[in-house]
Amino acid sequence: MSEKVNKLETEEFDKIIDFQKKIRVMLQNMGVLESQKHAILHDLAGVNEDQEKLKKELEEKYGAININLEDGSYEAVKDNVE
């Protein structure tokens, strides 16, 4: 005697499989994005490091200054000692 196997309707099962495929693709895409984010964060750290080096070079050359990022002009930083 064989037992009866309970099964979903084909349409219901197909929807479940479709959802699982979509979830798998989305999770894979999130992994790719996280990897890209990680690489960009490393690039950003490098740019910040390079900027800090330039700041030190400029401070050695010009002293403490505020730079106008629109035209490249600068003013000496005034000490607020009272």
Prediction pTM value: 0.68
Helix (H) or strand (E) holding 58: helix 10-62
Q: In this structure, are residues 37 and 31 in contact, taking their beta carbons and an 8 Å threshold?
A: no
pLDDT at 2: 80
Domain segments of the chain: what residues?
10-76
pLDDT in tens, 2-59: 889 999 999 999 999 999 999 999 999 999 999 999 999 999 999 999 999 999 999 9
Confidence label for 78 from pLDDT (cuts 50, 70 and 90) = confident
